[in-house]
A and B are shown apart, each in its own frame.
Chain A
Amino acid sequence: MFYKKNYYQINIFFLFVLTFLFYLFGKEFCSYLGIEWAIKYPKQLVFPLKIYISSLVKWLMDEAHFLIFSFKDMTRAISWLIEQPYQIILSLFANGFYRGLGQDAQLILAPLSWIAIIMIITSLAIYTKDKALVLLVSLSFFYLAIFGQWDSAMITLSSIVIAVPIGVIFGLFLGIASYKSKRVEQTIKPVLSLMQTIPVFAYLVPILVMFGFGPVSALIATVIYAMPPMVYTTLLALKSVDSQIKDFGVMTGCTNRQLMWKVLIPSSRSTIMVGVNQVIMLSFNMVIIASMIGAGGLGYDVLTSLRKLDIGGGIESGLAIVILAIALDRLSQAYVRLRPESKFKNQSFFKKYKLFLICLFTIFISYLIGFSSEFIKTYPKELTVSTSVFWEDSMKFINVNYYDLLESIKVFLLVFFLMPIKKFFLAIPWPWTVAMITLLAWHYGKLKLSVLTFILLMFIVISGLWTKAMITIYLCGSSVIIACLIGIPLGIYAGLNKKAFKVLTAFVDTLQTLPSFVYLIPVVMLFRVGDFTAMIAVVLYALAPAIRYTALGIKNINEELIEASLISGCTTRQLLFKVRLPLALPEILLGINQTIMLALSMLVITALVGTRDLGQEVYIALTKADIGRGLVAGLCVAFISIIADRIIIASSNRLKIKYGIN
């Protein structure tokens, strides 16, 4: 046994040395053997998948027919269906109802006044009986009015109000379908993981072509991006319903349908609501990208102010998104905790619907007064506050005074950290890299995982995108290392200290909902266009899960174990390094896993400041409306993240077995 283990370690050591030698002499070695194709995959062997995809979509749009209607009729019918409720909500919240078109239009019904909307949202909060929440929600909406973000915020809110129910309903039904049939589950799961990992930019153009230009396409893209967690949580929730409850339902003679809707779903309600919550948060993440293809609202404001380098304006609109997201998130979380209570039957009608009636009354009154008073109708411009100048001046101050310091830090990191990693990934011949990663997959996940890994890697090679994929891995890898170096210690601190936990959670929430564009431009101003800037932006975005998961892992360790270690005489340091960290390791690994996923999704955005990776490939395809090129590059990004995800999950499962954690 001892011998075998030793032998194994020698093997690994040997592979490391060999990889290092390839890093130093890979190019010379290959040209010596006359196998240049191992350094650069030959162009004539690239499989032109992108051309096939483009012509497939073209065929679908121009020629495909199903008996009586064409494919295009079908997609357009879908977008018409989605457009109707969207227009109603938009008119209700922001634009008002009109009769006639263009300049002949007459206002029939003004949109809800800002007072009425604040009243409605506050009553929703009052219903949960959580006083802090009532304060948070109403203050958030007042903030939107006071800082002059009201009109845009209502447009954003309307698209969220449409996208979230569509995502939730579809997710719920897909979840139920895969709960009922194993086969459905097995077909749906790979599709879902592609939906989550293909960068949104890659499928924007096909969506535009199919569903037309305008807010509906933006809504569909949002739903595609935000729906997968709903399916997962529904499935998980249904599976984890206590079997006794299910048996009880069967015994009382439920039909299948009754069993699902009256027994299983109500009893797994709180888990399902977690999925709803995820859909809301992800929909907010899409606000900026959706505004690029016509959604308007706060996202559009962020984009246009950054075009003008109006950093202050960008930050204000960005913060408005954060505030709206956090208010709705906390509200939906409160509804998760809400327990259904039995109502007294003989309560009077008025008492039962008190809140609802007050809301109706406010809407009615504010509408009536709105005819004579502008103040009630729209929040007056003169009372808005702007912090724009403050942000601009502080940016300038940092730029003028600290630029040289920042520059030297940047040069140091570039020379000693980023450049060597980049060279490492680009110098090693691709067959060796493919072999090593496949071997790693085999070590953790045995045959099945290694076959999957090999096929996915070869797809990247054959598409001719290997070099760009390696730059992607380099950028993503170095950002993940930095994010972990910062995030894990912070997470440990937060796990040990309750106050720090509260502060850091708020910080992490803000980082995740603040649109990355808002800090992308200031980062460019301080660090110039290039890999370093991209890295900083990625680290800022991907830091959150590293902190969150580590903190949770440390916090959730069984108290008895800690006490036992204290009794056996552990010092604080030993307690941390010998007990807490090993036990939290699986959670930390999952955190790193999520960090990698977020880093990859952010890389596409950093293409906007100039990188040369797969993200740039996707972005170029977007601006050239090249459907095939975008989807192929998008698939490569998805495959990298799927490989990383599977390998890390396999290794974390191993650790769990090793430390006996369930």
Chain B
Amino acid sequence: MGILKKISLIISVFFIFTGQSLVAGDSKDPIKLTLHDWTGQLITTNIMAEVLKKAGNNVELVQADYIAQFAGLQTGDLHLAMEMWETTGRDAMDEYTADGRVVNIGSTGMEGIEEWWYPSYMKEKCPGLPDWEALNDCAEAFSTPETSPMGRYLGAPVTWGGFDDERVEALGLDWEVIHAGTDAALFAELESAYQRQAPIMLWVYAPHWAPSKFDGEWVEFPAYTTECYTDPSWGINKNSAYDCGKPRGPIWKVASSQLQEKWPNAYNAVEAFTLSNDEMGSMVVSVDLEGNSVESVVADWMSNNKSKWESWIK
């Protein structure tokens, strides 16, 4: 017993020493950044965290769900989310930024692309692609026993939205929309089909490793406009909305309102942060396909782009 007591005493003494001291300017409390489950986001967040560390802030990385994190940003448990996609996060973002406890700090400079995608080898079976009007002629080529004679389109998880069921209806496509439950299931099917050179049409997004690993292209639907989603009389189908492709949109940075209050300098650095799609694409490939760790890829970026990030924190 005596030994145990002594050990616990020593440990508690350590904890007293680790107490923090407050200095003027940014608070010394750790800024909590959220991590989600796709590589691009891990990279963006780690770069931001490294930059903030260089600026003298303390940071902590916390695993949190993409939408569920808003509850934490609102209460101030979490402070910064580096990737909120216009395409999938708009509704939740609008809901939570309404009362000012969560704020949008502008674009990351990256653009999200989401659309129907097929591997290049399918072009032989369906020469009319990528034009969407070829979809009906080739529906049979993309069908499976469950959907035959309709084509099978593997859509994203229902929670991502995307209006694919509505799109199929509005454009009169002979296709059936099957929803994958997660991102992993989506790309598992792609990998499997690609290994066998089997027909597949699915939702692919960028920046992501899949369009770099697999050779293929996006279907070209009538270009998106706001009216297309809101005004039924717009476009080919005069009686229905959604008769166009998906919007492409910025990836936003969102933060708790506490970020600006407690860490004003950090807030400015986050606001200045930008990355391009190409930069991100090559880093994602380096991690997911070449097997490098996120940390080493981020460290490389930091040493190669010193002037860029120094300008963010000056």
Residue ranges of A at the interface with B (Cβ–Cβ < 8 Å): 61, 84, 88, 97-103, 108-109, 204-205, 208-209, 212-214, 291-296, 300, 303-304, 306-309, 396, 399-400, 403, 407, 411, 414, 520-522, 524-526, 528-530, 606-611, 616, 619-620, 622-625
Contact = CB atoms under 8 A, between A and B. Distances in A.
14 contacts: A99-B17, A109-B14, A213-B32, A213-B63, A213-B77, A307-B38, A308-B288, A524-B185, A529-B179, A610-B178, A610-B185, A623-B65, A624-B67, A625-B65
B5 interface: no
Interface in B166-202: 178-189, 191-192, 195-196, 198
Interface of B: 11, 14-15, 17-18, 20, 28, 30, 32, 34, 37-39, 53, 56-59, 62-72, 75, 77-78, 92, 144-146, 154, 157-159, 178-189, 191-192, 195-196, 198, 209, 288
A202 to B, nearest CB: 13
Contact of B18 (A100, A103, A606): A100
A309 B185 contact: no
A529 B195 contact: no
A399 B189 contact: no
Contact of A529 (B20, B38, B53, B180): B180
Given A88-B11, A309-B191, A396-B195, A102 B58 contact: yes
B88 to A, nearest CB: 10
Contact of B158 (A292, A303, A616): A616
A205 B68 CA distance: 7
Nearest to A524: B188
A254 B70 CA distance: 56
B39 to A, nearest CB: 7
A608 B185 contact: yes
A142 to B, nearest CB: 24
Given A88-B11, A102-B59, A400-B196, A620 B159 contact: yes
Nearest to B159: A623
Contacts of A205: 68, 71
Contacts of A208: 64, 68, 71-72
Contacts of B11: 88, 97
Given A99-B18, A411-B145, A309 B187 contact: yes
Contacts of A306: 184
A212 B71 CA distance: 9
Given A399-B196, A525-B188, A525-B191, A294 B62 contact: yes
Contacts, number: 155
A381 to B, nearest CB: 11
Contact residues of B: prevailing secondary structure: mixed
A84 B14 CA distance: 12
Q: Shortest 4 CB-CB distances between A and B: which pairs?
A: A102-B58, A525-B192, A294-B63, A610-B181
A622 B65 contact: yes
Contacts of B69: 213
Contacts of A204: 68
B157 A308 contact: no
Contacts of B196: 399-400, 403
A528 B182 contact: no
Contact of B63 (A98, A212, A293, A308): A293
Given A98-B18, A109-B14, A625 B70 contact: yes
Nearest to A533: B185
A466 B188 CA distance: 32
B14 A213 contact: no
A309 B38 CA distance: 12
Given A99-B17, A304-B37, A524-B189, A610 B179 contact: yes
B185 A101 contact: no
B191 A293 contact: no
B67 A609 contact: no
Given A108-B14, A208-B68, A609-B180, 17 more contacts: A209-B75, A213-B34, A213-B64, A291-B63, A294-B62, A294-B63, A308-B39, A309-B184, A403-B192, A411-B145, A411-B146, A521-B184, A608-B185, A609-B181, A609-B185, A610-B178, A619-B159
B17 A213 contact: no
Contacts of A609: 180-182, 185
Contacts of A293: 63-65
Contact of A307 (B144, B157, B183): B183
B71 A610 contact: no
Given A293-B64, A623-B68, A99 B14 contact: yes
